[in-house]
């Protein structure tokens, strides 16, 4: 479930961003709850509001996750919240994920080469995940042990992995999965 930050304000100025904070500073707001709709596209914020004696006003809030997409020919930065929606949206395409950290020397060496691959293989989705504290749950879910690690996915499943700054192995793995 996606959690959104919003503050209850007049309808024309409702704002949202991808973190949780329900502001009850507005004089009519008492408490807020977030529910995800079955379409996973619309998040409804239900607040306990006294509005002319009626409770339970519903405000629709657009999530930034609705617009999370990978761009062909570029490497797209993902987070624990945007990774799976982008992978799902990729459908039958091969997805290559670069799992790195800011402090990793070999990761820095591989970054421009990974960008070049994204420009060469336009039928492949290239993503990168900073394995920082915020994204630790996803890194753990994907089984990261060393950085850089490259995970290659097809049909939402990891089909191959390249550990370390092994560019030739990464190219071979991408070409093998693309041709299968």
What is the structure's pLDDT at 60? 39
Q: Looking at 22, 32, 104, 131, which residue is catalytic?
A: 104
**Which position has the token pair 């089909």?**
159
Domain boundaries, the chain: 5-65, 68-179
Are 121 and 171 contacting, i.e. CB atoms less than 8 angstroms apart? no
Name the strand (E) or helix (H) holding 96: strand 94-100
What is the structure's pLDDT at 50? 40
For 68-179, the fitting CATH number among 3.30.43.10, 3.40.30.10, 3.10.180.10, 3.40.50.1220 is: 3.40.30.10
Listed as ranges, residues in the chain with pLDDT below 50 are 1-65
Residues 6+ apart with CB under 8 A from 98: 75, 107, 110, 111, 114, 126, 127, 128, 129, 148, 150
What is the structure's pLDDT at 180? 87
What is the structure's pLDDT at 65? 46
What is the structure's pLDDT at 67? 56
Report the first-to-last Cα separation within the chain, whole angstroms. Answer: 34
Q: Looking at 22, 32, 107, 131, which residue is catalytic?
A: 107
What is the structure's pLDDT at 48? 39
The answer to whether 22 is a known catalytic residue is no
What is the structure's pLDDT at 68? 72
């Amino acid at each position: 479930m996606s959690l959104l930050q919003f503050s209850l304000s007049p309808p024309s100025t409702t704002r949202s961003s991808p973190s949780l904070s329900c502001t009850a500073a507005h004089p009519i707001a008492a408490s807020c709850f977030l529910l995800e709709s079955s379409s996973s596209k619309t998040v409804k914020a239900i607040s306990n509001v006294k509005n002319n004696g009626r409770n339970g006003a519903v405000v629709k809030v657009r999530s930034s996750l609705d617009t999370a997409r990978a761009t062909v020919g570029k490497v797209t930065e993902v987070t624990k919240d945007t990774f799976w929606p982008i992978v799902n949206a990729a459908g039958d395409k091969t997805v290559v994920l670069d799992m790195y950290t800011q402090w990793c020397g070999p990761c820095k060496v591989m970054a421009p080469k990974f960008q070049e691959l994204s420009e060469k293989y336009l039928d492949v989705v290239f993503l990168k995940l900073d394995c920082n504290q915020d994204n630790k749950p996803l890194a753990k879910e994907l089984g990261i042990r060393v950085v850089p690690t490259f995970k290659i996915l097809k049909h939402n499943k990891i089909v191959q992995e390249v550990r370390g700054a092994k560019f030739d192995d990464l190219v071979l793995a991408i070409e093998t999965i693309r041709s299968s």
